[in-house]
Amino acid sequence: MPSKAMIGRTLSTGSAAVDAAHVAAFARALGDEDPRYFDAERGVAPPTYPIAFMVQALAGGASVFEELGLDFVTLVHGEQEFEYARPIRVGETLTLTARIADVYEKQGSSGLMDFVVLETEGTDAAGKTVFLSRNTLISRRRA
């Protein structure tokens, strides 16, 4: 069972470069042809682009997931939300900090469920927040 004592714990920190070709490929995969996503010099990323950073943001956090006691066999992605201070700009490098924002449990029809809310903050070179991403993971607890 995940411990509430883990709330606020940092999983990892790292950085991610916002590459014009990657942003364009991401937009194409979404079927979004907005010209802002294809401008290599002044472009911005689509609103869901931070999902592309998820692996980088959580790198090195495997030991914390083991400590949380989540059952990876039953683990599902429950929810994702994004909050922006400004658009993500092509060409910038963001610093990513992933932390545990909340831990709780609920009784479901298939048994006790553990919920872990992960929050990733992306900051710019000046240290200002660009976005917050919240990701809820759900795991059915083994008896």
Eight-class DSSP state of 86:
S
Number of folded domains that form the chain: 1
* CATH code where residue 84 lies: 3.10.129.10
Percent of the chain having pLDDT more than 90?
Answer: 62
43 part of a folded domain: no
pLDDT in tens, 94-130: 999 989 999 999 998 888 999 999 999 999 999 999 9
- What does the DSSP assignment read for 66-88? HHHT--TTT-EEEEEEEEESSPP
Q: Which helix (H) or strand (E) holds 57?
A: helix 54-58
If DSSP codes are grouped into helix, strand and coil, which group holds residue 30? helix
Q: Considering the chain, what is the average pLDDT of its residues?
A: 89
Range of the domain at 118: 4-18+55-140
Q: Which helix (H) or strand (E) holds 52?
A: none
